[in-house]
Chain A
Amino acid sequence: MSTSNRSISYVEAIREATAIEMSRDSNVVLFGLDVDDPKGTFGTTKGLAEQFGADRCFGTPLAEDGMTGVAVGMALAGLRPIHNHYRMDFATLAMNQLINVAAKTHAMSGGMQNVPMVVRMLIGKSWGNGSQHTQSLYPLFMNIPGIKICAPSTPYDAKGCLEYAIRDNNPVIMVEHRMLYYSTGHVPEGELLVAPGKARVLVPGTDVTLVGISYQSVECMRAQNYLADIGISAEVIDPIWLSPMDIDTIEASVRKTKNLVVVDNAWTICGAGSEIIASLHERLGDIAWRSKRLGFATTPCPTTPSLEDHFYPTGQSIAATANDLVNGGAQYWYPTAKDELKSVEFKGPF
Chain B
Amino acid sequence: MNIDKLYQSIKTIRRVEEVVAKIYPTDKIKSPVHLGIGHEAVQVGVCENLQKQDVVFGYYRSHPLYLAKGGNLNAMMAELYGKITGCAKGWGGSMHLVDIEHNVMSTTAIVASSVPNAVGYAYALKLQKSNQVVVSFFGDGATEEGVVSESLNFAALKKLPILFVCENNELAIHTKRTQRQAVLDICGRARAIGVPATHIDEYNIETIYNIAGDLVEKIRNGSGPQFLEIATSRWLEHVGPGEDFKLGYRTEDEVAPYRAQDEVERLGKQLNPAVRAQIDQEIEHKIAQAVEFAESSEFPPQQELLKYVYK
Residues of A within 8 A of B (CB): 29, 55-56, 60-61, 63, 65-79, 81, 96-97, 100-101, 105-114, 145-146, 148, 169-170
Contact = CB atoms under 8 A, between A and B. Distances in A.
Nearest to B79: A110
Interface of B: 55, 57, 86-92, 96, 98, 100, 105-106, 108, 110, 113-125, 127-128, 146-147, 150-151, 153-154, 157, 307-311
B15 to A, nearest CB: 26
Contacts of A76: 105-106, 117, 120-121
A215 B155 CA distance: 38
Contact of B150 (A61, A71, A105, A107): A61
Contact of B113 (A55, A96, A112): A96
Contact of A55 (B122, B127, B308): B127
- Counting chain A CB atoms within 10 Å of each CB, which of B88, B153, B310 scores highest? B310
Top 7 A-B residue pairs of the complex, sorted by shortest distance between their CB atoms: A73-B120, A69-B116, A66-B150, A110-B89, A77-B124, A70-B120, A63-B150
14 contacts: A66-B150, A69-B113, A70-B123, A70-B154, A72-B116, A77-B128, A96-B110, A96-B113, A110-B87, A110-B92, A111-B91, A113-B105, A169-B310, A170-B310
A114 B98 CA distance: 13
Given A63-B150, A100-B113, 13 more contacts: A29-B127, A56-B127, A70-B154, A73-B124, A74-B120, A101-B113, A106-B311, A109-B98, A110-B86, A110-B90, A110-B92, A113-B98, A114-B311
Nearest to A147: B310
A97 B151 CA distance: 13
Contacts, number: 141
A101 B108 contact: yes
A169 B308 CA distance: 12
A106 B106 CA distance: 11
A111 B150 contact: no
A114 to B, nearest CB: 4
A158 to B, nearest CB: 22
A66 B151 CA distance: 6
A79 B116 CA distance: 15
Contact of B147 (A60, A69, A105): A69
B96 A108 contact: yes
A77 B122 CA distance: 8
B307 A112 contact: no
B124 A66 contact: no
A55 B124 CA distance: 10
B216 to A, nearest CB: 18
| Most B C-beta atoms less than 10 A away, residue of A73, A74, A106 | A73
A79 B126 CA distance: 12
A111 B300 CA distance: 13
A73 B123 contact: yes
B119 A69 contact: yes
A196 to B, nearest CB: 10
Nearest to A73: B120
Contacts of A113: 98, 100, 105-106
A97 B147 CA distance: 10
Contacts of B124: 73-74, 77-79
Given A66-B116, A66-B147, A73-B116, A107 B309 contact: yes
A108 B92 contact: yes
A109 B311 contact: no
A329 B120 CA distance: 57
B91 A109 contact: yes
Given A72-B116, A97-B113, A65 B154 contact: no
Which of A70, A74, A107, A114 has the most B CB atoms < 10 Å from its CB? A70
A114 B100 CA distance: 12
Contact of B116 (A29, A67, A108, A111): A67
A71 to B, nearest CB: 6
B116 A65 contact: yes
Contacts of B122: 73
Contact of B146 (A65, A100, A146): A65
A169 B309 CA distance: 11
Nearest to A93: B146
A205 to B, nearest CB: 33
B210 to A, nearest CB: 28
Nearest to B98: A109
Nearest to A110: B89
Residue among B105, B121, B308 with max Cβ neighbours from chain A (10 Å): B308
A77 B121 contact: yes
Contacts of B86: 110
